[in-house]
Amino acid sequence: MESLYSSIKNDMSCKVSGKDLLPAKNGEEPTMQFLLEVVEILTNYVKKTFDRSTKVLDFHHPHQLLEGMEGFNLELSEQPESLEQILVDCRDTLKYGVRTGHPRFFNQLSTGLDIVGLAGEWLTSTANTNMFTYEIAPVFVLMEQLTLKKMREIVGWPDGEGDGIFSPGGAISNMYSVMIARYKFFPEVKTKGMTAAPRLILFTSEHSHYSIKKASAALGLGTENLILLKTDERGRVIPADLEAKVIEAKQKGSVPLFVNATAGTTVYGAFDPINEIADICEKYNIWLHVDVRKLSSLIKLANSVTWNPHKMMGVPLQCSAILVRERGLLQGCNSMCAGYLFQPDKQYDVTYDTGDKAIQCGRHVDIFKFWLMWKAKGTVGFEQHIDKCLDLSAYLYNKIKNREGYEMVFDGEHTNVCFWYFPPSLRSIPNGEESRERLHKVAPKIKAMMMESGTTMVGYQPQGEKVNFFRMVISNPAATMSDIDFLIEEIERLGQDL
């Protein structure tokens, strides 16, 4: 029997183009053929992603991709291309990309390829609707409301009370938190601008994500009014430093507005002492936001919470929520009541037109894949996934902590494992400027070789005075102990002659 693939290839090679697809007359047949072919490309990619003999990436420099690869050219064309070429473009776009679901991809926290989540994303694109009104997204809007309530219950707010909205990522969710805090204490800023407020001060750890700084710039508070807090050796905020800096700001006539605490910082995976920070916030009447990577029972102390299912929970990008303990602030802060979209006299309960709470107008449907995954796994499934990732982090930590050639950036188990690798040539050099300089170059060199050979990917960075080190964050559900072993072998293989 002729395979589906070859019959379609034959048909597609007869110069069928996009204009022959639906809604063209007699477009059903070519549309079905085209979509089945696309699905075959996608499912082949999915299969290979989990096959450890497949490379994580087939690296090319920007100029190589821009110059064009055989049969694959990024230039846009004046005339329609054949569907055969379009299929090649689909296949090659995946070919030259990075398999972020590969069991040996550890580069980012957003990793993994959850099959149900993927199906959810496909369905979402097929529905191609917009989250702003119940009118055009009735099912998705209800799913979002229900899921947000469930998330607030898990955070620990009584009866899941409060508010929230899905946003395009953790950075934007963090920005929402600053906006809402400002609206809570100085609502007139919405209409009169920053002249309606005194000099407002934000506080966050020197280890926190840069999005808090970006928010202070974007919202007109100014990066100089964001005060960085000192941390201990594990990267946790020192509460006494917060209190001292709050008092200092007040003495200077400024108003401390907002503190961001992080539950799992980007590089170290550190947990700020939320309990003590919450006490200080209560004492000085300051908004407490918690940027969460890993949940804990203390998060309920926050006024607002950033929760990113596209990180530790493995939901396909993008999926992030801002949760707010006090209901009404999101709406009050952001609503503009556009009469052509949020008509108050619609035929249904317009409180479900939640779009005016957002800073966006059109909003992508990020909820469905998350909701569907939650259905498929249950809450327990997510918990098991996170536990497995933490077990793997512990496995890595224990494997390298006493291994020759390794030094940990900090002791103790964490969600992140940060370490230096000393190639044999560096091990005999005494500690000093020369060894620091050479060590600083090791991680970028090994990373470059990893990418060239396409075998695995892991992140690295400096931190403060510390020279470049590797940072492992494990959230990939496909990873096993053998992949951790492989990573270590690969670092040693690539680094032995440096």
In the complex, the smallest distance separating the C-beta of residue 292 from ligand PLP, rounded to whole angstroms, is: 8
In the complex, the smallest distance separating the C-beta of residue 160 from ligand PLP, rounded to whole angstroms, is: 23
Task: Give all strands (DSSP E) within 264-335, no chain letters.
Answer: 287-292, 304-307, 320-324
419 Cβ contact list (under 8 Å, min separation 6):
400, 406, 407, 408, 409, 469, 470, 472
Q: How far from the centroid of its chain's Cα atoms is residue 278's Cα?
A: 26
Nearer to ligand PLP by Cβ, of 211 and 225: the residue is 211
Is residue 165 helix, strand or coil?
Answer: strand
| Sites of contact with ligand PLP (CB under 6 A) | 109, 169-171, 174, 209, 211, 262, 265-266, 291, 293, 308, 320
Nearer to ligand PLP by Cβ, of 291 and 356: the residue is 291
| Cα 482 from Cα 52, distance rounded (Å) | 11
| Cα 460 from Cα 470, distance rounded (Å) | 4
In the complex, the smallest distance separating the C-beta of residue 235 from ligand PLP, rounded to whole angstroms, is: 11
In the complex, the smallest distance separating the C-beta of residue 174 from ligand PLP, rounded to whole angstroms, is: 6
Around Cβ 6, how many Cβ atoms within 10 Å? 9
In the complex, the smallest distance separating the C-beta of residue 322 from ligand PLP, rounded to whole angstroms, is: 11
In the complex, the smallest distance separating the C-beta of residue 171 from ligand PLP, rounded to whole angstroms, is: 3
Nearer to ligand PLP by Cβ, of 107 and 320: the residue is 320
In the complex, the smallest distance separating the C-beta of residue 417 from ligand PLP, rounded to whole angstroms, is: 15
Q: How buried is residue 38: exposed, middle or buried, by Cβ count under 10 Å (0-12/13-18/19+)?
A: middle
- Asked whether 275 and 281 are in contact (CB, 8 A), the reply is no
Nearer to ligand PLP by Cβ, of 103 and 459: the residue is 459
Is residue 414 helix, strand or coil?
Answer: coil
Nearer to ligand PLP by Cβ, of 173 and 334: the residue is 173
In the complex, the smallest distance separating the C-beta of residue 148 from ligand PLP, rounded to whole angstroms, is: 17
From first CA to last CA, the distance across the chain in angstroms is 55
Nearer to ligand PLP by Cβ, of 308 and 456: the residue is 308
Nearer to ligand PLP by Cβ, of 124 and 308: the residue is 308
Q: What is the DSSP string of 325-379?
A: SSTTHHHHHH----TTTS-TT-SS-GGG-GGGGSS-SS----HHHHHHHHHHHHH
Q: Which residue is nearest to ligand PLP (CB)?
A: 170
- Asked whether 180 and 304 are in contact (CB, 8 A), the reply is yes
Is residue 263 helix, strand or coil?
Answer: strand
Nearer to ligand PLP by Cβ, of 31 and 463: the residue is 463
Largest CA distance in the chain: 83
Nearer to ligand PLP by Cβ, of 99 and 311: the residue is 311
Q: How far is CA 387 from CA 33, 102, 362, 466, in A?
A: 43, 19, 36, 30
In the complex, the smallest distance separating the C-beta of residue 38 from ligand PLP, rounded to whole angstroms, is: 28
| Cα 374 from Cα 380, distance rounded (Å) | 9
